[in-house]
A = this chain, B = another copy of it.
């Protein structure tokens, strides 16, 4: 409930670590260091690379490095890259077929809360998480 998934946790841990290192870091290196399952760490880093938060270099001697400044990396984007869109209730973006459709009295206000929540996480950057 209102939980940040473990994947996002792992993603933030990795981003912080990459920020603290100058050189390329291997996926396995990070997963071992923090006790994160290797396959999961790998996929998260792949996702972050696709979204251009980090750069991946394939092959032997490959690895990942941060390519954005910490101020340009905010929590909302990280969450959405890893877990998909922030959606506090299913009805707001229309995923769940809602038995309350038509009579529901909270959709509008909650859409508003959701928007504010996105702003909330947009305002938290890697700079804040490094402190």
Interface residue A58 (Cβ < 8 Å from any Cβ of B): no
Q: Are B4 and A3 in contact, with the CB atoms below 8 A?
A: no
Interface positions, chain A 1-58, Cβ under 8 Å from B, are 1-6, 8-9, 12-13, 16-17, 20, 33-36
State in angstroms the CA–CA spacing of A117 and B118 once bound together.
Answer: 11
Q: Are B35 and A105 in contact, with the CB atoms below 8 A?
A: no
User: Can you list 27 contacts pairing A with B, beta carbon distance less than 8 Å?
Assistant: A1-B5, A1-B79, A2-B2, A2-B3, A2-B4, A2-B87, A2-B117, A3-B87, A3-B90, A9-B89, A9-B91, A9-B110, A13-B100, A13-B104, A16-B105, A20-B105, A33-B103, A34-B99, A34-B104, A34-B105, A109-B129, A109-B131, A113-B129, A116-B120, A116-B124, A117-B120, A120-B120
